[in-house]
Chains A and B, each alone.
Chain A
Amino acid sequence: MTTPRHRLTPESARRLTLDTEPWLSCEDCFEQIDIYIELLLTGTRDQHQLAMRTHLAGCNACEEEARSLLLLVAAERNIDAEPILPSLASN
């Protein structure tokens, strides 16, 4: 047995085996992200956002951009985004 050149860290193993159902494409995520951020800022959270949360948990780029949008819009409205951030990409 050959040792893999790259040993997977526990974090890598976690990211590789994330359950990313229900499926949402990056394109659809982008289409909906402004609505999702507005809902988060108003404290609204429902099951219909599951696909979005799941996608953000599994897509680094979309999560980074969503986080940034949340911080920007929250700052403009004088809303503290810190309590909201943990729910951005979690089920």
Chain B
Amino acid sequence: MTASEVVTEGECEQSAPADSDARWIAALSGHGPEHQEALRRLHELMLRGAEHQIAQMYHTLPKLGTVRIEDIVRQSADEATVAVLAKLATFQGRSRFTTWAYKFAILHAAVEVRRNMWRHREVTLDLLYEPYAPGASPEQVIAASDFSSAVSAAIDQGLTSHQREIVLALLVEDVPIDVLAERLGSTRNALHKTLHDARQRLRRHLTAQGYLAASSPTEVNS
């Protein structure tokens, strides 16, 4: 389903956002036929969100058959529906309910797609990077002619081995963070914190070496 196909159905539900949000919450929090109908509509919303996410990532998927893709959509929508219901009390009305709910569908579908992309691929952290020879002096390393080489040296000299493994896996090998978290028995949050700390270390190292200006608002952000 393309995003444009979603528009027709979605528009019908957006005419009175605040009232609509209140009705969603009341129905999903309640009991009886109205609750069951709200559950059905919520699941439809999650299917729509999951289908949208699959469509966005389709070009990255290995050749999967229609049945497998439908399985991914259905599983993601099921998980997202459960997640929405578990977090219902946290909805504050600062966005529309449908926007808030869609993010669960998108997250679950994206994670499932990434898992499928890497299902048969190994992540061998110990083979990712060959460091500079132990005897290389700072002067030899700094003699590197370009920024990329300087960053390579900073990775070797300025990071812990754990930080090195994580940044290279995430940013050089492009291992999806959810996949890496699963393989390492970690979490997306923890890995992103490691990445953040490593970046800060690299920046301090490169600033000290003169490759970055002090307190630069990063010339690399575009």
Q: Report whether chain A binds chain B.
A: yes
| B53: nearest chain-A partner, CB-CB | A68
Q: A50-89 toward B: CB 8 Å interface, digit per residue (1/0)?
A: 0000100111110011011101110111100000000000
Kindly list chain A residues whose C-beta atoms are within 8 Å of the C-beta of B147: 10, 13
Decide if A37 touches B56 in the complex (CB within 8 Å): no
B151 at the A interface (CB under 8 A): yes
Do most interface residues of chain A lie in helix, strand or loop, or is the interface mixed? helix
- A17, A64, A65: which contacts B103 (Cβ < 8 A)? A65
Task: Give the Cβ gap from B105 to chain A, nearest Cβ, in Å.
Answer: 9
Flag if A69 contacts B110 (CB, 8 Å).
Answer: no
User: At the interface, yes or no: A91 with Cβ under 8 Å from chain B?
Assistant: yes
Is B107 a contact of A65 with CB atoms below 8 Å?
A: yes
Residues of B within 8 A of A71 (CB): 3, 52, 56
Shortest Cβ gap from A22 to chain B (Å): 10
CB atoms of A34 and B220 under 8 A apart: no
Residues on A with beta carbons closer than 8 Å to the beta carbon of B47: none
Q: A12-B171, A17-B203, A25-B189 are in contact. Are A68 and B56 (CB under 8 A)?
A: yes
List B residues 83-108 near A (Cβ within 8 Å). Answer: 94-96, 98-100, 102-103, 106-107
Chain A: CB-nearest residue to B52:
A72
Q: In the complex the two chains form, is A26's CB within 8 Å of B14's CB? A: no
Contacts of A8 in B (CB 8 A): 148-149, 151-152, 172
Q: Which residue of A lies closest to B188 (CB)?
A: A26
Contacts of B77 in A (CB 8 A): none
- Whether, in the assembled complex, B196 has its beta carbon less than 8 Å from a beta carbon of chain A, the answer is yes
B18, CB-defined interface residue at 8 Å: no
Q: Which residues of A contact B (CB under 8 A)?
A: 1-10, 12-21, 23, 25-27, 30, 33-35, 37-38, 54, 57-61, 64-65, 67-69, 71-73, 75-78, 90-91
